[in-house]
Structure 1
Amino acid sequence: LLLLAISVVGTAAMLFSTRYMEQYTAKAKYLSLFMLMVAGMNGVVLSGDIFNLFVFLEIASIASYALVGFGCEHEELEASFKYMVLGSIGSTFVLFAVALVYGNTGSLNMAYISKAIAGSGINPGLAFALGLFITGFGLKAALVPFHAWLPDAHPSAPAPISAMLSGVLIKALGIYALARVLFNVFGISVQLGWILIVLGILSMVAGAFLAIGQWDIKRLMAYSSISQIGYVILGLGLGGLILAKGDNLAWASLAILGGLFHLVNHAVYKSLLFLT
């Protein structure tokens, strides 16, 4: 489903770029970076190896850093640099987490890691890796309190790139990757469910309140995206919490499906807002 969203939004943004990018000279570089970003996102979604997931995440991230500052104006370069610094911190956390997981399980295959953790439990090293994953992917998803880069990146990036950032990038590199690690690798628990719920509520409330005082429409939509991502995380957290407690699997499925539905819904309507 996320692959379909990436393909549809990517195609729409590419078609929009044919006219929009006439004001720039280096169209070939722009198109190359754009396709590299899309390829990286697709790789993150398809990868079954946790290190390859990190590699594809970095491919998409590095391409997006360059695309945010593509105009080479002072404001654009400043926003791109801020995004790159925070994104690199997030990537470093994820890489350290991957190293800790490999050191504790001896494998990079997600299915094997999941079986190893289910058999032996989560030791302190894996618990620390889990915290690094949540922080690193939280930065990629622009969750509060890791959101500082997104409101600056949106006003500076070309409109098609803003559509990709809010539409699919923060979802593929952040939410999807985080959900994959929490649900498929470590296994969701009551504590992790509550962490997601708290992050979701913080993002929902902070994003909405911060959007109120914005006059720049792109910054306003950036804070709107932060708030809407909170709804997605809240749905996943509620579903995970109910699933971990084993109370009602039907309600757990409904909460998770609601979060995923809003993920796709937000990908479509927010990207269309940037492309109008």
Structure 2
Amino acid sequence: MVKVLITGGTGLIGQHLQNTLINNNIEVAVLTRTPKKSNEFRWNLNENYIDKNAFNNITHIIHLAGAGIADKRWTLKRKKELINSRVKSTSLLLKKITDHKVPLQGFISASGIGYYGAVTSDKIFTEEDAPKNDFISTICSQWEKSAHQFKNIDVPLTILRTGVVLTKKNGALSKMNSPLFLSALGTGKQYVPWIHIDDLCNLYLEAILNDNFKGIYNAVAPEHQTNESFSKTLGNIIKKPVLPMNAPSFILKTALGEMAYMLLNGSRVSAEKTKQFYNFVYPDLVTALNNIYHE
């Protein structure tokens, strides 16, 4: 029997992932600050607390939890929260797994393509590339470093560096899709590595079921889109006009502060290593968006 404990299981990706696992006859438990269902268990980072019943018969942990990167401006306090919510939560899971002597068969952690930094270049980044030294890269590299602690207790580790996740409700698309029109951002030449949520959840499923799917993988579709081409494709799919002039960089910087650099920059990220283990259901943007808006 396989039973998976998910952190962040009540979030956008977590809810979808729960359905994917359950549809594949995998039992699911969820850590949340406010349990409401029979398969939900309380945890609290400030109290260093996790309900020990959450670990009953657990074979794998999928660690999605972390404060939302784009939810608030990056003040010093918020930056600390973004890192601590990922690093401290991972360390707490490790401590409890050790304390309760849970025979874990796999630890699967989210990360982000922000690991490669908020940069626009001609380079196509692979899993072998080093992190940059900006803040978004620091978040991801420290998150991954904390996850690597599980290897010290001989627990197999998989890390998914995730791009922009496309979903039917909420998420990135809802923010891009303004009521009247669409607009590219800044130069529009920055790349937007993306992935359909079904493909992302299937990759987590692969990490559970395939003993060879260990290590670090880019969770991005194999097709490359710039911010400009993404906006035009989205406009064609949903029949909405795209402004001929892009949203100026200075407006985004004024509104979002340092966070704006994450939107105004982006390079291509390779899916070649991931494709060795997984065939994407939605390998191109047209197919992905048609599924989201017309199926």
Higher radius of gyration, 1 or 2: 2
Q: Same fold (TM over 0.5)?
A: no
Which structure carries more strand by proportion?
2
Larger fraction in helix: 1
Give the shorter-chain TM-score range. 0.3 to 0.5
User: Structure 1 length normalisation: TM-score?
Assistant: 0.34
**TM-score between both structures, scaled by the size of structure 2:** 0.32
